[in-house]
A and B are shown apart, each in its own frame.
Chain A
């Protein structure tokens, strides 16, 4: 069909649904991974900066303890020199221990090289002060001489402590600023990737809606409109390959169904027409008998009977065709000699016509196929009946049976009206009658022929020219004799 060519021609460039979905999943998963990695990486930076700030604070606390301890020790030592009291001496010793403990803690918590250098300086100066104090106290100097002598060492130790604390404080401020920066970077990273993820998901949703859902809804509406009887309905064009192919398939189906519907209406009109002629004859006969315008003779009764037979046969054909068309074709296979099939048909038809010469030509050897003898007889019978019908002027109707290679062939030729080249493909369609004026009938014969032959694994070919005649060839798989010596 034309619609199929259109499908093949147009859908090559269209992306597949699976490709689109794979791309979408890759993008969304990529964005989600970026979000995860960004969050983990920035939180590591944040926690590192926070640890640095925390360490700074510990160092600062230890430095302040050193400073306080040193001042306390200095005060208590002076008090001991002035009073010589035993309790004061104990407190002074505890204060000295406190200073060295604080120095040890400081040494333990310091990490940064600049702080470690200054911590070592501080420790050295505190030691210098303590040693100076021990030396001077051993000389038993009075307090007013001792204090001026100790002042330079004390001031250098306190000065070192102060500058150390300033450095540590500056470092802590720096670490706090780093924490702030890291938190800021984390917020930006997580915010941007989460935003991109949301945008990606929204785009995916909109894309699925526009590329899949909307075409599906439009397809559904098209099918609904068609079911309501709108035969001009066309499925929408779709950007993706599968929905597009679905739409094209539905278009094709709609066209086929519409065509079939029109053909069935034509067929019904044809059947009604063909039934009316025998009905008219019957009706006139009965009315003529009724008003005694015509005598009831055996001949008249035979005519009535013939009309009834004709009507019954038409209805029977119709039922048979309906059964075969709906797929209820049951075959009883047997070994069949096609020569016998053809002979039976020719013997049946030859006496029914004076204007046609129905002849048969057969080979001497049997032409055997596997099949249903009665159905094959129906095939040949339909072809011969058609040949007679479509040659209203009479002439030869030749039936020939032959074995050709792997195939058995039955050919039926007439010198009748023939088939126009543009109609040749259509003659096997059901409900299609060529030249209705020439031949009455339901137009089902050839469609029945094709169905039966196809069920036997064969095919039907036709050669025809208008005004010259037609030859129908039925080809079936030839049944070889079981022994090797078959006919050449």
Chain B
């Protein structure tokens, strides 16, 4: 656990179309003390974001309806505070670095990853709170 533990538990929105992977991620994050919500795709994720803002969004890149990068772009347009939420991209695509550069987020992790890597990256995102800043 981080020494600077948050006063209230941090909320994580997990957006992934793969049920099995989302299930274990949610379970592990809950065990680590996060409040976890899960969306099946980008559109679903946008609905949950409109309902309540999480502290961080953990999203897959390739999803039906709205991909990770598209969802991130919509968050910037929505102007309801969504543009201040840091985004962690998690994917098996080969060119994840390039996708993350386009989205403008410093937080990305290639599948398959270690549990510790995921937790470290999430905590870093929560500390720094650097929201996506796509290049012009």
Contact = CB atoms under 8 A, between A and B. Distances in A.
B110 to A, nearest CB: 8
B21 A277 contact: yes
A284 B25 contact: yes
Contacts of A306: 20
A276 interface: yes
B18 A273 contact: no
Nearest to B20: A281
Contacts of B28: 284, 288, 293-294
Looking at chain A's contact residues, the main secondary structure is: helix
Contacts of B64: 392, 437-438
B67 interface: yes
Contact of A283 (B31, B65, B114): B114
A272 to B, nearest CB: 7
A280 interface: yes
Contacts of B18: 277, 281
Contact of B92 (A276, A307, A437): A276
Interface string B95-119: 0000000000000001111110010
Interface in A280-333: 280-285, 287-288, 291, 293-294, 303, 306-307
Interface residues of B, number: 26
A291 B28 CA distance: 11
A269 interface: yes
B23 to A, nearest CB: 7
A294 B32 CA distance: 11
B1 interface: no
A348 interface: no
B83 interface: no
A392 B111 contact: no
B65 to A, nearest CB: 7
A436 B62 contact: yes
Given A437-B63, A438-B64, A272 B113 contact: no
B94 interface: yes
B94 A273 contact: yes
Contact of A276 (B20, B63, B111, B118): B111
B93 A280 contact: no
Contacts, number: 74
A303 B23 CA distance: 10
B24 interface: yes
B27 interface: yes
Given A288-B28, A437-B64, A279 B112 contact: yes
Interface residues of A, number: 27
A279 B110 CA distance: 12
A274 interface: yes
Interface string A420-443: 000000000000000011100000
A396 interface: no
Contacts of B92: 272-277, 280
Most buried by B among A280, A285, A287, A307: A280
B94 A287 contact: no
Given A269-B94, A281-B24, A293 B113 contact: no
Nearest to B24: A284
A437 B111 contact: no
B27 A288 contact: yes
A273 B96 CA distance: 11
A283 B27 contact: no
A277 B31 CA distance: 21
A283 B111 CA distance: 10
Interface in B7-66: 18, 20-21, 23-25, 27-28, 31-32, 62-65
Contact of A307 (B20, B93, B110, B114): B20
Contacts of B25: 284
Given A273-B62, A293-B31, A280 B94 contact: no
B24 A288 contact: yes
Contact of A287 (B23, B93, B111, B115): B115
Given A280-B113, A283-B113, 17 more contacts: A273-B94, A274-B92, A275-B92, A276-B110, A277-B92, A280-B112, A281-B20, A281-B21, A284-B24, A284-B25, A284-B118, A288-B31, A293-B32, A392-B64, A437-B63, A437-B64, A437-B67
For the complex of A and B, the 5 pairs showing the least CB-CB separation, nearest first, are A276-B92, A280-B112, A280-B111, A281-B21, A276-B111
